Structure 1
Amino acid sequence: MRRGWLLRSGPDRMTTVASNVSLSAGRRNSAAGPNESGAAAVHVAQIADSIPAMLYYAGADGRYRYVNPAYCSWIGKTSASLVGAEVIAIEAGGTDPAGAAEVQRRVSAALAGADQQFHLARRQPGRARRLAEAHYVPDRNDDGEVAGFSAMLFDVTGHAEALDQSHRERERFVHIASHDLQEPLRMVASYCNLVDQRYGQALDEDGREFLAFAVDGAARMQALVDDLLAYSRITTRGREPLAVDSGAGLRAAMTQLRAEIDAAGAEVTHDPMPAVMADEIQLVQLFRNLLSNALKFRSPDRTPRIRVSAVPEKHGWRFTVADNGIGFEAKFADAVFDIYRRLHTHDAYPGTGMGLAICKSIVDRHAGRIWADPRPDEGVAIHFTLSSPAEGTSC
């Protein structure tokens, strides 16, 4: 836990120090051109070997040149067996298919010159599952070419377990609270409906209006509790991301919303959709919420048009769901993703104010970004990013 706290309290400084030590130790052991000698080299090796963080250096061929004892212990192999071995084969060997694809993608990116930071889970036979926060920092020679990369891994298993426990406790609380709230809400709605059926004719106009307010209030609270429960389960019940066809997820969301799309007379079009690393169920939910949001806030003056597109980025894809609806002012671009945030009254646009908050939680869980590009009275474009599968990975 403390190591995870230290990492987050000063990640740039810690990464720089560890990177320099790993880099120096790796170059010292590499035939590509040592740049330390004598006592200085010995001191560098001693520092690298004594650092509790897990360090290694890999050459341009993706093979280990140096590994420190902490890394050997975490991998469960000796230094002699690791030096010269392929990083991808070793680090991907103790994880699941999704983790293996992630390692392959990250190593390839580091050797292409891009800094990498991600989480790596590993399970050795007879040992509990461990989770590390991994940093890959490319090493460039005097000509600017990538000569390899230094790696720093910090064991965050304790931190992750504490976070998982917190999520489980939160879900239990929300589940209990929602169950205890739902039953009286159902009773209120049921008895109000009974009153309306049996005595509705005896009530004056005001009485019937008051009764309608009570029924509507109970229904709105039930919807709010349902959305709160769905929000809490994004992190606790999500599945491991796998290579999935985002087009299939979009089509599933459109099928679920077919009645709403037809009722609005909306035109929904999309580009060819790529494969991404995602929880397939949550990807469908993400598309469904964004499409539903675009349908809800359509303009009464024109035919609703929704365009879903995807463009490649350095390590993944940027998706855009753009509409020609009522839009909103740019000053609310961040606030719309807050929980329970509403820019309009419930009477004008029914809903709980949870839709985009759920979208943000899903994208955050996938280590992506989501943001809005609004245009008042013209529409809004919601962008989000997802990672690409490693080469050779099929959906």
Structure 2
Amino acid sequence: MPDWLSLYYEQPIELTHGEGRHVWDAEGNRYLDFFGGILTTMTAHALPEVTKAIGEQAGRILHTSTLYLSRPMVELAERIAGLSGIPDARVFFTTSGTEANDTALLLATQYRRSNQVLAMRNSYHGRSFSSVGITGNSAWSPTSLSPVQTLYVHGGVRGRGPYAHLGDAEYIAACVADLEDMLGQTAGGVAALIAEPVQGVGGFTMPPDGLYAAFREVLDRHGILWISDEVQTGWGRTGEHFWGWQAHAGNGPPDLLTFAKGIGNGMSVGGVVARAEVMNCLTAHSVSTFGGSPVTMTAALANLTHLLEHDLQGNARRVGGLLAERLRAVTAGLGLVREVRGRGLMIGVELVRPGTDEPSPEAAGLVLEAARERGLLIGRGGTGGVALRIAPPLSLTVAEAEEGAELLGQALHAAQDHMTGRRS
């Protein structure tokens, strides 16, 4: 395996099986899972409806490719097109969010005949050559080479940066002015703006509601497309909305929407939704060998049906709100916690060196280890890896939310004690 392959924990753990919101490692330790394989186990581990659907489809046929008709693929495309909010929508399936964003860039640049792309600072859109080229988080961007010319604009990080001191309305106005100024300095027509409604790897940061609607007014004047990267925010995870873009819906849906992760509940599913005019702009043939696989499509259909029938979006709103409140309570007075933020079951906790406003990767590393020791798995992100990422399956119960908050509180106190004790 490559040296740059990231593993959590000083002593990495092997996860062998899971059920509901819990997983077990190879040594028999049980963990409450608050990260879900990077926001991928969306409904539950070993969800019976999904595992049954996978087994039945695998018993019929595993693979065909998009060269042949597939009923599960067509049915899932129809459902996603209807849910997307995009008029006259077309859906193309991929195997990951990286590949979905790759495809969206291909469509947008071809449609606009331009390789200039606007992206947000602190963003993350995948690990392919083109998606790394629009990633604004230096920790996840290993090369400056890119097939696109990327222009980074303000807005994705509310709590830090030159506009952090402004009120929401003034913040949006300043970001729009920055966008206008940026466009006034470009050499030609920009193809698209790609943005995560809530920045995932960026540490679950987000702008004030309405920012992208304000951006859209500017984009529309210039004919620039809006790509909403919903790989982490889609399917109701934010609680208040089914898609993250709906918090910024002043001018309607985006031109393109990318998705992945949670829809497959662990199976490799990604895709792009775009209005037909944009999706059909390619003039060369294309297929996907593994996108739209009968097994992954069947799993995604079963998972989406379960999510809708059990109103897991509503559960994310209710239990996520409770979890955020409990986390704010257990972190009150802790000097290493700068902010608890997020919405629904997508919550970030930003850490600093106790008693300062200095971001602390050390604190995040200590908390990650301390939480695992107590039976809780969480994620990590943000600039420099200073934010804890909390994103359990959307079926999380109230009791599990309270247990997780208590365990994380213990881990945070242990990390602060360690850091202040070493400094004294």
TM range (shorter): under 0.3
When the two structures are superposed, what TM-score results if normalisation uses the length of structure 2? 0.23
Q: Please tell me whether Structure 1 or Structure 2 has the larger radius of gyration of its CA atoms.
A: 1
| Structure with the largest fraction of helix | 1
When the two structures are superposed, what TM-score results if normalisation uses the length of structure 1? 0.24
